[in-house]
Amino acid sequence: MNINALHSNLVSGKGVSEDELFKYLTVSFRLFAQQRIWNEQDSEEIVQDALMTIAKKYREIEFTTSFAAWAYKVLNHKMLDYFKAKRVRVDAQTRMVDEENPDMSSKPDPALKRQLLLCLKKVSGANSRHARILNLHYQGYTTDEICKKLDLKPGNFYVVLSRARSMLELCLEKGDAV
């Protein structure tokens, strides 16, 4: 039985209890939220918050689409709020670091710059497509623009970008590009 059927049976009094509906929602929401939020504690908190909102409001609302669509929309809004709050915290921490170390942001380390350029050359020597994607991504081109320029599909772009970053990271850590 799906969420909409459980809801309609509950509203019409066909032997479905609120407990059954909310147990089903809880399981579905946990799976949905855990795929998007990897922190289990945060994920559970968001699910519980969404379920509380649904429990308070679902009797009052006449649904134009479906109960399931509305319920998942509530969960999505809770997750968006979580991501916004997380981004604000990260931005605040970044500002604090920049204010504490003003010289770090204004003058790049010449030795690090040389090492980075050397590693980019090594990555380019190993695979020119990887170096080109890193360069275009760094320049601020969007995924669609890069895919169009290099005749790539977006899924393949992310695979190549991930490999290129891994190669660059390996080179920066160990001095080896392959």
**How would DSSP label each residue in the chain?**
--HHHHHHHHHHTSS--HHHHHHHHHHHHHHHHHHH---HHHHHHHHHHHHHHHHHHTTTPPPSS-HHHHHHHHHHHHHHHHHHHHHHHHHHHHHHHHHH-HHHHHS--HHHHHHHHHHHHHHHHH-HHHHHHHHHHHTT--HHHHHHHHT--HHHHHHHHHHHHHHHHHHHHHS---
- 5, pLDDT greater than 50: yes
Pair 36, 29: CB distance under 8 Å: no
So what's the pLDDT on residue 124? 83
38-60 pLDDT, tens digit per residue, is 788 888 999 999 999 988 887 77
What is the C-alpha to C-alpha distance for residues 164 and 128, in angstroms, rounded to an integer? Answer: 10
CB 160 within 8 A of CB 133: yes
Please report the pLDDT score of residue 92 as a whole number.
Answer: 67
**pLDDT at residue 106, rounded to an integer:** 56
Give the per-residue pLDDT at 45: 92
Q: Check pLDDT > 70 for residue 145.
A: yes
Catalogue all structural domains in the chain, each as residue range(s) with its CATH number.
3-99 (1.10.1740), 108-174 (1.10.10.10)
The tens digit of pLDDT for each residue in 106-131 reads: 566 787 788 888 888 888 888 888 88
Of residues 73 and 93, more confidently modeled: 73
Rounded Cα gap, residues 134 and 124, in angstroms: 10
Q: Check whether 29 has a pLDDT greater than 60.
A: yes
177 falls in which pLDDT band (50, 70, 90)? very low
pLDDT of 103 above 60: no
* Angle, CA of 66, 68 and 71, to the nearest 5°: 110
Instruction: Please tell me the predicted confidence (pLDDT) of residue 175.
Output: 65
- Look up tokens 């049976």; give the residue: 9
